[in-house]
Amino acid sequence: MTRMANTAEILPFPPSRDGRRHTPPALMAAALELMESRGGGQGRFDTGMAGVLLVRSFQTIMPVPNVYKPSLCIVLKGAKQIMFGDSSLDYGEMECLIVNVEVPASGRMVGATPDTPYLGMTIEFDTAILRELLQQVPAPPRSAAATPSIFVGQVDEQLAECLTRLVRLMGNPGAIPVLSPALLREIHYWLLTGPYGAEIAKLAAPETHAERVARAIHYVRDHFAEPLRVEQLAEVANMSPSSFHHHFKTMTSMSPVQYQKQLRLVEARRLMLSEAANVSEAAYHVGYESASQFSREYTRSFGIAPKRDVMMFKELLAQATAR
């Protein structure tokens, strides 16, 4: 597994006495107040806003496989690691993971304890807002070269101030439908006009290589249980097979075949955890003809056998809900 370097420019942020970047006290206080108002403890907290999530963890757990949607993932306290394809990225306090395309990946909180918990926030990108803003702001520079669609950046003061107001708004449910659209639009604006704007604009700009690959990814998502060929996906993307494979691998750090397999495994895991499917049922549902082959690939990808994974998840869930 390769460790990717951050591709984004470092934004200025006030230095602290220990030389590290820290979450502004107002943002941290707002997040903690919201979590306590929702019962405290650890887990995911209701924000009252679709696509916006606050999470806290008191423990380091095994990497959790999931499908990451295009989103901004911010660490308010602690550190996190994400692994996708052959790559991994680490990011810490007041750093953010920017995801420009749906991708199966595994994330874990690093070093979380009851005394030093992990706190994080995720905001899903709204392509409609991005398209509207692209009509109103100077277009970011476009690069013809294929670039990774997952990278780490840093949170600047303008974005941190917006996040503070957004978290404070979560404590006023009556104001959320009135005020949250403008705040989310402002967050998209600062991101689009900042140093990462060229990458984020790819989410909404038409007929770019990124948009074409995303089109094929949506097709894989809707047909992952079926046999798929690279030539078939290249046709969906309106690209040559060689160009499609190159851009797909650069953007996601995995081949189309690996991507489909990861989608299958993540969905099978969801079926076993959320719908109580057994290993054979989950395997056949996502397109495997052999439950033993499914178990081998599951163990190879996630580092744990499917049955054991389900048991450990239930144990962790019981601990998290005992608050």
pLDDT, position 143: 60
**φ, ψ of residue 38 in degrees (nearest 5):** -100, 15
Just give the CATH number of 209-254.
1.10.10.60
Quote the CA–CA distance of 187 and 159 in Å, as a whole number. 6
| Contact (CB, 8 A) for 55 and 71 | no
Rounded to two decimals, what is the model's pTM? Answer: 0.87
Quote the CA–CA distance of 84 and 82 in Å, as a whole number. 7
Structure tokens at 64: 């959790």
The amino acid sitting at 234 is A
Q: Tell me the HSE value of 85 on the side-chain side, using a 13 A CA sphere.
A: 25
DSSP state of 145: S
- Write b or e for each residue in 12-37: b if 16 or more Cβ atoms lie within 10 A of its Cβ, otherwise e: eeeeeeeeebbbbeebbebbbebbee
Q: What average pLDDT does range 62-74 have in this prediction?
A: 91
Among the four given CATH numbers 3.30.70.3450, 2.60.120.10, 3.40.30.10, 4.10.95.10, the one describing domain 2-201:
2.60.120.10
Quote the CA–CA distance of 212 and 234 in Å, as a whole number. 9
* Residue 118: C-alpha distances to residues 48, 51, 146, 170 (Å): 21, 20, 33, 20
pLDDT per residue as tens digits for the range 185-237: 999 999 999 989 988 998 888 888 888 999 999 999 999 999 999 999 999 99
Structure tokens at 246: 């190159």
Fold of the domain spanning 258-321: Arc Repressor Mutant, subunit A (1.10.10)
Structure tokens at 271: 């079926």
Question: What proportion of the chain, given as a percentage, has pLDDT over 90?
Answer: 75
- CATH topology identical between 2-201 and 258-321: no
pLDDT per residue as tens digits for the range 178-190: 999 999 999 999 9
The amino acid sitting at 6 is N
Q: Domains of the chain: which residue ranges?
A: 2-201, 209-254, 258-321
